[in-house]
Amino acid sequence: MTPETLSKRTLLFVNAAHALDHFVLLIYPTAVIAIAAQTNLSYAELIGLATGAFVAFGLCSLPMGWLSDRFGRRNMLAVFFIGYGLSCLGVASADRPAAFAGWLLVLGVASAIYHPVGSTMLVSHARQLGRDLGVNAVWGNLGAASAAGVTALIAANFGWRFAFVLPGLVCLVLGAAFIALVPGDGNPSANRSGKAELIPVNRPKALLAIFAVAVIAGGMTFNITTIALPKVIDERLGLDLPLALIGSLATLVFVFGAATQWLMGRLVDRYTLPALFVGLALFQPLGLALAATTSGVPLLIGLVMTMAAIYGQVVVNDAMVARYVPAQHRAKAFSVRYFLGFTVSGFVVPMLAVLHAQGGFGLVLAGATVFGLIVWCAALAFFFLAQAAPTANTVPAEP
């Protein structure tokens, strides 16, 4: 197999894995509405059972980069497909709170594989960094976007268990195809026409600390918004809508995030990353504040602004790791990046349950606004500190 063919196949499966990673993780926040209707448990009690999944999503990201260096990225991505599929079938078989919590924890561990492993594979096989990052991000966003709508439609027509069974089977089939069609990691970097350039900096530790703050705060807004979105629309839109329509509106909001990711993928190749970071981050607190204080159409506008900023920032953050971190350290850097963002934000689930019980989603969104302001302030600090970077010519990030 030629390096070019290997890269094309790898990118295709990496993109599909990204879509599934976000789709499967967001099945439960929508399915829980149907599960609550069939049980005596409240939304707050049921959503709390997913705490382990979202904590594991971040906590287990840390060792995945090291494991991929030891066992191979291709092998780890195969484990992702198979593990995700089996855990979906496990959740579908649950009938008690303890079973839900246990299988959701397993699902969270499997989901943690993708970002540190898949992102490193993407950067290694990318033919044009910004474009391929943007395309990959759109796949992930479309997975998140379709989760609410598809889950609602399946649950409404066939029951919530099928909402887990069908994606689980898709994961298993894709896993088998991946193992058969992608024989190994390969060494495609030497054959690419365009390579990511490493940006030199004067104060890497200070920039790293600021970036870590932005990643942690951004992880909070990411999870608050994506987990709560279906229920926010259900409660605050001001209309009595069926579950299927609620899911469709949530999907529409996510689609705007996908469009922003496609745009940011193009802009990353043309403009400086710190400038893009500052401009995009501003829309997080603005959109969240609007959503927290309104209902109806203004609420939807605020959610669209927020989702566009959150998902656009994913492209920028991944590009920053690719451009500021040498290739030999990149898998570990992606592990730390997602560990920080997803582990801390994994505690969003119990926080969401408490805030919702005390003040509804107005209070939940107000809290998210604070984290959005932190992201923007960190972006400003990164921008000004990066201006002091060396003016020497950039060097290739790949050996």
- Tens digits of residue pLDDT in 328-357: 777 778 888 878 877 776 677 788 878 888
| Helix ranges (DSSP H) in the chain | 3-25, 27-38, 43-48, 51-59, 61-71, 73-92, 97-111, 114-125, 129-158, 162-181, 204-236, 243-268, 273-281, 283-293, 296-324, 330-346, 348-386
Residue 278 has a pLDDT of 92
Strand partners, 198: 395
Amino acid at 188: P
**C-alpha 87: how far from its chain's center?**
19
For 203-214, how does the pLDDT look when each residue is reduced to its tens digit (9 = 90+)? 778 888 898 899
Residue 64 has a pLDDT of 87
Can you spell out the DSSP letters for 151-209?
HHHHHHHH-TTHHHHHHHHHHHHHHHHHHHH------GGGG-SS-PEEPP-S-HHHHHH
For 152-179, how does the pLDDT look when each residue is reduced to its tens digit (9 = 90+)? 889 888 989 999 999 999 999 999 999 9
Query: pTM of the entire structure?
Result: 0.72
Q: Residue 18: give the domain boundaries.
A: 3-396
Residue 238 has a pLDDT of 59
Rounded Cα–Cα distance for residues 85 and 93 (Å): 13
Amino acid at 308: A
Higher pLDDT, residue 396 or 252: 252
pLDDT category, 194, cuts 50, 70, 90? Answer: very low
The mean pLDDT value for 52-73 works out to: 84
Residue 388 has a pLDDT of 65
pLDDT category, 83, cuts 50, 70, 90? Answer: very high
Q: Is the pLDDT of residue 79 over 90?
A: yes
Residue appearing with tokens 């030999």: 328
Are 16 and 137 in contact, with CB atoms under 8 Å apart?
no
The mean pLDDT value for 103-124 works out to: 91
Q: Is the pLDDT of residue 393 over 70?
A: no
Residue 395 has a pLDDT of 42
Longest dimension (CA), the chain: 64
pLDDT category, 392, cuts 50, 70, 90? Answer: very low
The mean pLDDT value for 179-183 works out to: 92
Name the domain count of the chain.
1
For 273-289, how does the pLDDT look when each residue is reduced to its tens digit (9 = 90+)? 889 999 999 999 999 99
Backbone angles phi, psi at 197, to 5 degrees: -100, 135
Residue 197 has a pLDDT of 66
Name the average pLDDT for the chain: 83
Q: Which residues of 158-195 are buried (b: 16+ CB within 10 A; e: fewer)?
A: eebbebbbbbbebbbebbeebeeebeebbebbeebeeb
> Among 212-216, 237-241, 295-299, 361-365, where is mean pLDDT lowest?
237-241
Are 246 and 233 in contact, with CB atoms under 8 Å apart?
yes
For 253-275, how does the pLDDT look when each residue is reduced to its tens digit (9 = 90+)? 777 777 888 888 888 878 888 89
**C-alpha 286: how far from its chain's center?**
21
Identify the CA nearest to 152 among candidates 26, 51, 50: 26
For residue 155, the domain's CATH number is 1.20.1250.20
Q: Is the pLDDT of residue 190 over 50?
A: no
